[in-house]
C-alpha cells in the first residue's frame, strides 16, 4: 500500500506545480509603480484664434528645441481587487531657446517682425488619471478597458525685441498658460509568457467636443518589462502622444498641436 501512495504522490506533484505557477507581478501584485526617463522628439505648434491655420507658430522649428532632452516620468497603479484598478501617471517637457526670426510671429497681440532677436519657451505637463476594469484575465494575460482624463498644464512664452512697422525696437514678453482637461476612453493588453518577461500595450483616445474644448488625442504605449528580482524590474516602452485641440477659454484661446514620441526607460517596483 505504501508503494501505491508513493507513486500517487509523484504523479500529483507536477499537477500541484502547474496549479501554483508563478505569475509576472504585472498580472498579480496589488501595487505597481514606475519611475523613468522619457526622451521625446517634439513637435509643438500654436495658432491664435484670430489667425489662419497657415500662420500657426511652429515652436520646435522656430526655436530649434533639443529633441534629446530627458524628462522625468512617474506611473503608479493600484489594483484594489481582481477586476478594478486606478492608474496615475505623468511627465513634463520643458524647453527654451533663442532665435533670430526669419519670419514674423504674432503672439498674444504682439508682432515680432523678421530680424527680431527673441527667446521662446514651452512647458507642458501631461497628467493621466485612469480607472479601468479587467475584461479577460488568465495566468499569462490581462485585457481591460476604462475611462480617464488627460490634464495638460501648458505654458508658452516669447520675449525679446519686437520691431514695429516704423522700425522702433521695444522689449516685449508675452506669456500664455492654463490647464486643458480632456476625458478619454482607453484599453490595455498585457501578455507575460514567463514570470520574468511581460509585453504590454495601451491606448487612450479622445475625439469629441466638450464645452470650451474640442479636438483629438491619442496616447499609445507599447513596451516590454523584465523582472530582475521579486520586487523590482526594468522596462523599455515607446510612447506616442498626439494632441490636436481647439480651446476657447480666456488666456488659452487658440489651436494647439503637440506631438511627443520617443523611448521611455523605467525602473519598477511591485508588492
Q: What's the pLDDT tens digit per position in 43-95?
A: 888 876 545 445 678 877 788 776 778 899 999 999 998 899 999 999 998 88
With 60 as the cut, is the pLDDT of residue 115 above it?
yes
Using pLDDT thresholds of 50, 70 and 90, give the confidence band for residue 110: confident
Q: Is the dihedral of CA 223, 204, 124, 61 positive or negative?
A: positive
Q: How many residues does the chain have?
A: 271
Task: Write out the H or E segment, with its range, that includes residue 7.
Answer: helix 2-19
Q: What is the predicted pLDDT for the residue at 11?
A: 46
With 70 as the cut, is the pLDDT of residue 229 above it?
yes
Q: What 3-state class would DSSP assign to 115? A: coil
DSSP line for 8-62: HHHHHHHHHHHHTPPPPHHHH-SEEEEEEEE--EEEEEEEETTS-GGG-EEHHHH
Mean pLDDT of 18-37: 84
With 60 as the cut, is the pLDDT of residue 18 above it?
no
Task: For residues 128 and 97, give the distance between their C-alpha atoms in angstroms, rounded to a whole number.
Answer: 28
- pLDDT tens, residue by residue, 127-139: 999 999 999 999 9
Q: What is the predicted pLDDT for the residue at 32?
A: 95
Q: What is the predicted pLDDT for the residue at 167?
A: 62
Mean pLDDT of 233-240: 97
Task: For residues 209 and 156, give the distance between their C-alpha atoms in angstroms, rounded to a whole number.
Answer: 24
Q: What is the predicted pLDDT for the residue at 49?
A: 52
Using pLDDT thresholds of 50, 70 and 90, give the confidence band for residue 207: confident
Instruction: Please provide the average confidence, as pLDDT, over all residues in the chain.
Output: 84
Task: For residues 231 and 176, give the distance between their C-alpha atoms in angstroms, rounded to a whole number.
Answer: 43
- 177 compared with 8, residue with greater pLDDT: 177
Mean pLDDT of 141-160: 92
- 164 compared with 27, residue with greater pLDDT: 27
Q: What is the predicted pLDDT for the residue at 45?
A: 85
Domains contained in the chain, CATH given = 25-270 (2.40.128.90)
With 60 as the cut, is the pLDDT of residue 1 above it?
no
With 50 as the cut, is the pLDDT of residue 9 above it?
no
Using pLDDT thresholds of 50, 70 and 90, give the confidence band for residue 231: very high
- Only one residue has cell 502547474, namely 18
Amino acid at each position: 500500500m505504501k508503494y501505491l501512495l508513493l507513486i500517487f504522490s509523484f504523479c500529483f506533484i507536477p499537477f500541484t506545480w502547474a496549479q501554483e505557477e508563478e505569475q509576472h507581478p504585472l498580472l498579480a501584485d496589488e501595487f505597481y509603480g514606475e519611475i523613468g526617463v522619457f526622451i521625446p522628439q517634439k513637435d509643438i505648434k500654436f495658432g491664435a484664434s484670430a489667425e489662419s491655420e497657415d500662420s500657426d507658430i511652429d515652436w520646435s522649428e522656430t526655436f530649434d528645441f533639443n529633441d534629446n532632452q530627458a524628462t522625468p516620468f512617474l506611473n503608479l497603479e493600484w489594483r484594489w481587487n481582481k477586476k478594478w484598478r486606478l492608474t496615475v501617471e505623468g511627465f513634463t517637457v520643458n524647453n527654451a531657446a533663442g532665435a533670430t526670426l526669419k519670419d514674423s510671429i504674432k503672439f498674444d497681440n504682439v508682432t515680432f517682425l523678421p530680424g527680431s532677436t527673441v527667446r521662446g519657451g514651452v512647458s507642458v505637463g501631461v497628467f493621466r488619471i485612469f480607472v479601468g476594469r479587467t475584461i479577460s484575465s488568465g495566468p499569462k494575460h490581462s485585457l481591460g478597458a476604462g475611462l480617464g482624463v488627460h490634464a495638460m498644464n501648458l505654458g508658452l512664452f516669447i520675449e525679446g525685441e519686437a520691431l514695429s512697422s516704423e522700425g522702433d525696437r521695444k522689449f516685449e514678453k508675452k506669456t500664455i498658460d492654463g490647464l486643458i482637461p480632456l476625458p478619454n476612453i482607453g484599453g490595455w493588453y498585457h501578455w507575460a509568457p514567463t514570470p520574468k518577461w511581460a509585453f504590454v500595450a495601451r491606448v487612450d483616445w479622445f475625439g469629441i467636443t466638450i464645452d470650451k474644448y474640442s479636438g483629438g488625442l491619442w496616447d499609445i504605449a507599447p513596451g516590454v518589462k523584465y523582472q530582475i528580482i521579486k520586487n523590482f524590474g526594468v522596462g523599455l516602452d515607446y510612447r506616442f502622444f498626439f494632441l490636436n485641440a481647439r480651446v476657447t477659454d480666456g488666456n488659452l484661446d487658440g489651436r494647439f498641436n503637440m506631438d511627443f514620441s520617443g523611448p521611455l526607460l523605467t525602473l519598477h517596483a511591485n508588492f
